[in-house]
Chains A and B, each alone.
Chain A
Amino acid sequence: MNHKVQKFFAILILTILLIVSSSSYYGIKGIDNLAYVVAIGLDVGKDNKLKLSLQISVHQSNENGSSSSSQSSSAVVNSIECPSINSGISLFNSYLGKEVTLSHCKVLVISEELAAKGISEYLFTLTNDIQFRTDSNIIISKCDAENFLKYSAPLLDKVSARYYDIAPTSSEYTGYTESITCNEFFNAINDKISDPVAILGSINTPDTQKTTNENSAYTAGQTPISGETSVETMGLAVFNDDKLVGELNGLESICHLIISSKLENAQIRIPSPIEQLNYIDLYIELDNNTKNSLYLVNSSPYITSNVKLTARIQSLNGNINLDDEKVVSKIENYAEQYLKYHLNNYLYKTSKEFNADIDDFGLYSLKYFNNISDLEEYNWNHHYKDAFFNVNVDVELRSSYLLVNTSKEEEE
């Protein structure tokens, strides 16, 4: 090709690129044309099938004209009765005079009442939506989703969007819930051999609170905290297929995380084997992934879980010598028995009460089937309620923190 023609083409392309890049497309949608949703709430509607609530970020540019970002904005919650999510969003578009966009949505909140009826339709619809991020968290609210969103103004964060980002990560150091994304939930609904769980949330008011001796035996809204009314996430909502069948409290959530090898850190309180303390607080973490195995005994699943944990002792008193092997071994044995008891209770609860395999035990049954028709014929979901469990727990007490030996007698 001759050089003049090449030059002509190069200049032509560069000129076109310059013109296009320096001009704005008439149909372009900017921050002023869009309403950014940070949370979606779904309730059972009064007349219609569904009540859709949207928590929409209000940008400061709309309030005082200054430049804005989602980091410096408050939010409003609006609700609408509608037959489906998409028709509700269309009505919102018309009402707000802006196009609602779900691309910044951080959380999907569904009321318990709606969840009990089945939510696969909504999950499929949202997963099919190109704007909706499937890594948004899913929360099952014990109160109305609308109220949950209204009270979701966080205590320590000014921005709801940031709160929704950070709040689920508390499970990493408490273990009282699990950060479940819509995608994980969606996958579990479609999976033939496992059932989904979701984060359990509620508004914490004096009426909903309760007190127990067991430190973490609360579900969302029950924690006895005084202060402003606010939302709280604690425990897990258990589903059978797409229907809510029950809930797990904080301690049971820890058990779920231990069995499914997802526990990062958690604090448990065990009865003390030594007389200087009534209870001992232990900070536990998984030493190895929990080894689950499954045998089919007369078609009933026999499931063995070998749990290996390390623990650090948190609560201390005078006259305790953690250098003494007997004391350490006593504490370890108590911790093992305590956890074994609660793990067994938890497993039988999911099996007998909920008939929901939320720990993916079904995966270990697959090896017994050569093809998919054998598996379908067996019907794992039908047999999980017949499962019986054997849990082995091994706790290794590594150390306490800064104090090791408070025994004055030995020092003397």
Chain B
Amino acid sequence: MNYTKLGNFEAICLIVVLFINHIVLNLPQMILNSSGSASTINAIYILILVLLFTILILKLLKNFIGLDIIDISEYLGGKPLKIIIGILSIFYLIFETVFLLRMFSKNLLLVYFQNYPVSFIMFLFLFIGVVSNIIGKKSIIKSNTIIVPIALFSILFTFIFVADLLKIERSMPIFYNGASQIFLSGASNIFAFNGLFFLFFISPLLNKKEDTSKVAFWSVLICGIFLILSITTLVFAFSDIYTVSRLSPMYFIIINSRLSAFLERPEVIFIFIWTLALMSFINIAVMFVLNIFKKLTNIKEAKHLAVTVCTIIFVIAMLLNHIFAFETIANYFYKYGTLILVFGIFTLLLISANIKKKFFNRRSP
């Protein structure tokens, strides 16, 4: 793949940016709705599960160093499988972008731009997606490396300012809806780590390909720590957080934090940072879509197709006007799309490719 090569930190930021966008929107609320006061236990449990999953994936990827999931699918099932996996990946990225873009734009519209059409806000995001992809991958990756630490710091900052509201007693009842809800059905909350999608594509991009495991572990750990922190803060600080669903729990934390004692509208700073994080994710998603497409079609240069990809995203995002239905579909896609594609199909594909390599074809791909 003709990508700009990534350092370890850049690669970690690339995986984490998708997680940041979800945590800013409604990821904590989704977990809180299912696990209530036991959400912290559930978050720790899914972090352990995802770490185990990452070990498995890294072990499976060991035989395919320097290859991404598209190459591996070609090795396993030839061109047909490569095209199927490629199309599925493109679909996943496009819909992930559509849902994040529409939800964030809707929130932005509600909070600040009530008299503007949502299409105008979405257009601005996608315009930047087009321009940055035409300018080049290096700028996308570098800007993401700046934005992600700032966004993470902003999230951490919000937790500090509600520290005085935390009460450990709110973690009870310890099993909320029962132990099975946390450890059996709650295991499906691993969808929160959907940034792992990029792990299947990142190996050929790395400067040091043997560092894939470091990148994977650090990414999972950062996401896990922030997930646990956000959920713990919400559960321990706000008694009604799982009885009343909010627009965005992170926004809710900020407007209720002690920050408002110093600043008149502290949320403005955070919304600005999160807007940059979404822009960065859109740039990356479009970049990956173009590169997968390029790989599937063998065209020489795909960057000008950024306009087409962004137009498709824009049109799909505008298709559904009923925002409650949109949110429901987005949450289903986020959960089940991730579980089926990232934790299901990609993993099965890797296992099958390893079996093929071990028993049927000892030649390197």
Residues of A within 8 A of B238 (CB): 187
* Chain A residue at minimal CB-CB distance from B240: A190
Alpha-carbon distance between A13 and B127 when the two chains are bound, in angstroms:
11
The CA-CA distance from A186 to B243 in the complex, in Å, is 12
Count how many chain B residues have C-beta atoms less than 8 Å from C-beta atoms of the other chain. Answer: 29
Shortest CB distance B179–A (Å): 8
Tell me the chain B residues, 221-240 only, with Cβ under 8 Å from chain A.
238-240
Q: Among residues 47 to 79 in chain B, which have CB atoms less than 8 Å away from a CB atom of chain A? A: none
Residue on B nearest A27 in the bound complex, by CB:
B115
Q: How far is B112's CA from A385's CA once the two chains are assembled, in angstroms?
A: 46
> Cβ of A190 and Cβ of B243 under 8 Å apart?
yes
**Knowing A9-B131, A134-B256, A190-B240 touch, does A364 contact B169 (C-beta < 8 A)?**
yes
CB-defined contacts of A360 to chain B, threshold 8 Å: 167
Chain B residue numbers with a CB within 8 Å of A367 are 169, 172
Which chain A residue lies CB-closest to B111?
A130
Render A15-48 as a binary contact track against B, CB cut-off 8 A, 1 for contact: 0000000000001000000000000000000000
A372 to chain B, nearest CB (A): 5
Query: Given A134-B256, A135-B255, A135-B260 in contact, is the A369-B172 Cβ separation under 8 Å?
Result: yes
Instruction: Decide: A371 and B176 in contact? CB cutoff 8 A.
Output: yes
Among A135, A191, A372, which residue has its beta carbon within 8 angstroms of that of B173? A372
The answer to whether A50 has its CB under 8 Å from any CB of chain B is: no
Known: A371-B177, A372-B177. A366 touches B239 (CB 8 A): no
Shortest distance in angstroms between B319's beta carbon and chain A's nearest beta carbon?
26
Residues from 9 to 60 in B contacting A, C-beta threshold 8 Å: 36-37
Interface membership of chain A positions 204-216, coded 1 if the CB is closer than 8 angstroms to chain B and 0 otherwise: 0000000000000
Q: B244 interface residue, CB < 8 Å from A?
A: yes
Q: Is A1 an interface residue (CB 8 A)?
A: yes
CB distance from B95 to the nearest CB of A (A): 28
A190 touching B239 in the complex, CB below 8 Å, given contacts A363-B167, A369-B172: yes
**In the complex, what residues of A have CB within 8 A of residue B136's CB?**
1
Q: Chain A's nearest CB lies how many Å from the CB of B287?
A: 14
Q: A134-B256, A183-B256 are in contact. Are A370 and B174 (CB under 8 A)?
A: yes
The yes or no answer to B121 lying at the interface (CB within 8 A) is no
Known: A1-B134, A130-B111. A363 touches B169 (CB 8 A): yes
- Assembly CA distance A133 to B264 (angstroms): 10
B156 at the interface (CB under 8 A from A): no
B293 close to A (CB within 8 Å): no
Q: Mark A112-140, 1 if CB is under 8 A from B, else 0.
A: 00000000000000000010011100000
Does A193 interact with chain B (Cβ within 8 Å)?
yes
Give the complex CA separation of A133 and B261 in angstroms: 12
Most interface-central of B36, B131, B239 (chain A CB within 10 A): B239
B240 to chain A, nearest CB (A): 3
Residue total for A at the interface (Cβ-Cβ under 8 A): 31
Taken residue by residue from 127 to 152, chain B's Cβ proximity to chain A (1 for < 8 Å, 0 otherwise) reads as 00001001110000000000000000
Residues of chain A lying within 8 A (CB to CB) of residue B131:
9, 13
The A290-345 residues at the B interface (CB cut-off 8 A) are none
Secondary structure dominating the interface of A: helix
Contacts of A375 in B (CB 8 A): 173
- With A6-B135, A9-B131, A135-B260 known as contacts, the answer to whether A372 contacts B239 (CB < 8 A) is no
User: B110: which A residues are within 8 A, CB to CB?
Assistant: 130
Partner of A372, one of B36, B115, B135, B240: B36
Nearest A residue to B174 by beta-carbon distance?
A370
Q: Which residue in chain B gives the minimum CB-CB distance to A127?
A: B244
Tell me if B175 is interfacial: C-beta within 8 Å of chain A. Answer: yes
Evaluate contact between B167 and A371: CB separation under 8 angstroms: no
Cβ-based interface call for B170 (8 A): yes
B7 within 8 A of A: no
Given contacts A130-B110, A371-B173, A372-B173, contact A187 B255 (CB under 8 A): no
Whether A366 contacts B111 by the Cβ 8 Å rule is no
Asked if A188 is at the interface of the complex by the 8 Å CB criterion, the answer is yes
Q: Would you give the shortest CB distance from B279 to chain A, in whole angstroms?
A: 14
Closest to A191 in B: B239
CA distance A6 to B135 in the complex (A): 7
- Which B residue sits closest to A193, measured CB to CB? B239
Does chain A have a CB within 8 A of B365?
A: no
Expressed in whole angstroms, the Cα–Cα distance for A370 and B177 within the complex equals 9
- Quick check: is A374 within 8 A (CB to CB) of the other chain? yes
Question: Bound state CA distance, A135 and B259, in angstroms?
Answer: 11
Q: Which residue of B lies closest to A188 (CB)?
A: B239
If A188-B239, A190-B240, A194-B239 touch, does A370 touch B170 (CB 8 Å cutoff)? no
Per the bound structure, the CA–CA distance linking A40 and B240 in Å amounts to: 25
A190-B244 CB under 8 A given contacts A130-B111, A135-B260: yes
* In the complex, per-residue mask of A182-208: 1 if CB is within 8 Å of any chain B CB, else 0: 010011111111100000000000000
B178 beta carbon closer than 8 Å to chain A: yes
Q: In the bound complex, do residue B176 and residue A372 qualify as a contact, i.e. CB atoms below 8 Å apart?
A: yes
In the complex formed, the residue of B with least CB distance to A184 is B256
**CB within 8 Å of A: which B193-243 residues:** 238-240, 243
Minimal beta-carbon separation of B205 from chain A (angstroms): 20
User: Closest approach, in angstroms, between the C-beta of A288 and any C-beta of chain B?
Assistant: 16
The residue from A187, A364, A369 contacting B239, defined by CB atoms under 8 A apart: A187
Known: A130-B111, A188-B239. A374 touches B255 (CB 8 A): no
Question: Are B178 and A371 in contact, CB atoms less than 8 angstroms apart?
Answer: yes
Contact with A along B245-263 (1 / 0, CB 8 A): 0000000000110001000
Residues of B within 8 A of A194 (CB): 239
Docked complex Cα distance between A130 and B111 (Å): 6
CB distance from A184 to the nearest CB of B (A): 9
Please name all residues of chain B whose beta carbon is closer than 8 Å to the beta carbon of A190 when the two chains form the complex: 239-240, 243-244
Within 8 Å CB of B167, what residues of A?
360, 363
21 pairs from A and B in contact (CB 8 Å cutoff): A1-B136, A6-B135, A9-B134, A130-B114, A133-B255, A135-B256, A183-B256, A186-B240, A187-B238, A188-B239, A190-B240, A190-B243, A190-B244, A191-B239, A191-B240, A193-B239, A194-B239, A363-B169, A366-B169, A371-B176, A372-B36
Leading 5 A-B pairs by shortest Cβ distance:
A366-B172, A190-B240, A191-B239, A363-B169, A369-B173
* Besides A1-B134, A369-B173, A372-B177, 14 other A-B contacts (C-beta < 8 A): A1-B135, A1-B303, A13-B131, A130-B110, A130-B111, A134-B255, A186-B240, A363-B169, A367-B172, A369-B172, A370-B173, A371-B175, A372-B176, A374-B173
